[in-house]
Amino acid sequence: MNRRYFLSSSIALGTLLACSKLPLGRTSLDDKTKKDIYSLKAQGVKKVTRTNEEWKRILNPNQYRVTREKGTEAPFSSPLNEEHEQGIFECVACELPLFSSAAKFDSGTGWPSFWQPIAKENVREEVDTSLSETRTEVLCARCDSHIGHVFEDGPRPTGLRYCMNGVALKFVQGKV
């Protein structure tokens, strides 16, 4: 990556973060209807692309294994499973806001679980046939980090269960 590209991508990243964070500060938890949360968009998600070597410098080995190699953390291993404070769960690799504490619920699985992402466009879904059961993989829309899977056995109002690896997320308290 040359310096010019790095600078331009850094500026773009900063702009994206600013755009995505502004509406959050104006929204109280009480207003968190499904419609409200889906309106918290990232104003267009611009891709962040790095080499594996670059990711290895940014991420610790556990984060790298899950996000870049589609690993799965052991259930009940992440402190974020028991995180009940208000805040935003960002992608650990690129800090794109992915989930709000307002949509978090205790699924009993041992993985942090949410009934919807903070904005549809902030996550990308792919069919995952790596196991005998076909699953839907959830990735960060900005940096393509593997975050977890989504299942259709979640609570109302969406009926979805975003089953996430806590190690792929970074919790930022108090931003909701």
* Binding letters toward Zn ion, positions 90-109, x by CB under 5 A: -x-xx-x-------------
Using CB under 5 A as the binding rule, whether residue 167 contacts Zn ion is answered as no
φ and ψ at residue 158, rounded to 5 degrees: -95, -25
In angstroms, what is the minimal distance from the CB of 35 to Zn ion? 25
DSSP track, the chain: --HHHHHHHHHHHHHHHHHHHHHHHT--GGG--HHHHHT---SS-------HHHHHHHS-HHHHHHHHH---PPTT--GGGG--SSEEEEETTT--EEEEGGGEE--SSSS-EESS-S-GGGEEEEEE-SSSS-EEEEEETTT--EEEEEES---TTT--EEEE-GGGEEEEET--
Using CB under 5 A as the binding rule, whether residue 140 contacts Zn ion is answered as yes
In angstroms, what is the minimal distance from the CB of 123 to Zn ion? 10
Segment interacting with Zn ion, rule: CB under 5 A, options 13-21, 83-91, 125-133, 148-156: 83-91
In angstroms, what is the minimal distance from the CB of 70 to Zn ion? 14
- Report the residue from 50, 104, 142, 146 that binds Zn ion according to the rule CB under 5 A: 142
Interface with Zn ion in residues 3-62 (CB under 5 A):
none
Does the annotation count 91 as an active-site position? no
Query: Toward Zn ion, which CB reaches closer, 138 or 160?
Result: 138
Residue count at the site for Zn ion (CB under 5 A)?
Answer: 8
Which residues are the active-site residues? 163
